[in-house]
Structure 1
Amino acid sequence: MPLDFSQLKMCTVTFLPLPNNGFILTSNRDETPLRKTIPPKGYLENGVEVVYPKDVVAGGTWIGTSEKDRAVCLLNGAYKNHKRTLPYALSRGVIVKNVLTADDAEIYINRLGLRNIEPFTLLLLDYSVDLKLFELVWDGETKHFHQLDKTPRIWSSSTLYTDDMKEKRQEWFQNWLKENDKFSVANVLEFHNNTDLGEPEVTTRMKRKLIETVSITSISKIEEIVDMKYLDFL
């Protein structure tokens, strides 16, 4: 299916494990520069303290943390690009907030009905005890929810990147891993902020006629300290 540039985009995401149940989760928001965003700040949602950048249009978010000791990140699309069938029942960014604030995120996701919700991929990091990494993929028909091994990973939204583009980006990420045996927020931000890995349309900090990387958000947990870095390019 050809890519539909009328639909909302985002994003490029990497996960890096750190010692002592730490991690770095970094997301490039690949979006129209016209879509307004409020930089990260704290909110009280359903009685739970959360921190996230807010999408002004839909009121949701694509990445955030909560006092429940979890981080959540959203990518538009599932395994393949899809054709939109508007209207949809709920913004996927609202689902992110619901997962952040649920009493038990795994139970919430397992019970979550997704009929008439646009396809998406959602990453859940639970660090309440030992670090756990989960992936939820909704392809429009079936909900795929499973725990992943805590190994370095990269995701690219199917709404924006073809399989060939994803393969190129996977190669760049693997090359970066070979050159960086110790992970830090600074060096992964360099990877996400790179404008020269390939063609401008495909590199990690990408730029196309209507879509570009408008921001990078990186959540890190180092020992007991959870931090969020936000780079705004607009």
Structure 2
Amino acid sequence: MSVLIGVGVPVGGFPAEGMIGGVPASTRSQILAAVLGLVLLAAMVGFAVGLPKSEGDEAPDLDSSDSSSADVSLPDSLPGGLIALDSGDLPPELQAQIADPTILAEQQKSAVDSLSELYDAPASFRVYSAEDGLSVAQVTGVGRAAGVMLADFPPIDPGLLGVARNNVELVDVGDAVCALTWSGQVPQGQPIDPAEVPQAVRCQQGDDARTFEIQAQGMSAETAADVVDSLVTSAAD
């Protein structure tokens, strides 16, 4: 599933025009509407590929680590200026667009409960927004060692497809593995803009006791990788 954040029915009303802090209100409204109407299944599908299930599959050897006590907590803020929507720390103009925080809380709790039951391990799930509202992310943690992460499209050499860059890439960014979804292919012979931001990015990183994943829009692969790296590092300390 390449759609990382699904646009569902917005919770409450959102302003359709005007400016908020120099950014069109309609842009922020679309982003927060997407977050509040998020498809939680997308986060769980990602982990279903990368982690062993609690039943029917043998879990990886966690050495002396106990996954039942693995720290997978998520902080109120993350690299890239991300702030959890339920933290109470959003700028007032963004906080005002969340008409009913209880619905978001119920969605997040449902995701945590489902993941914990599926993998028989502690889990966490929170939704974040950048302070300017132009980046949104779902971040998930599970107390299981990371498995193989697969892209939604096989990582075929773009040259074999007659393009300079394909719509989907699976790449290493630091210690994270990231699946990048671009708005379109880059034709062969045309330059690739190194400053272009993917349409969507999904990065996963873990250690022998936990796995963190971010699924985001409006964010570079480097920023997304920084998020999961910071979570793995802080959890292991």
TM above 0.5, one fold?
A: no
Bigger share in helix: 2
The structure number with the bigger radius of gyration is 2
When normalised by structure 1's length, the TM-score is: 0.26
Bigger share in strand: 1
Larger RCO (alpha carbons 8 Å, 6+ apart): 1
When normalised by structure 2's length, the TM-score is: 0.26
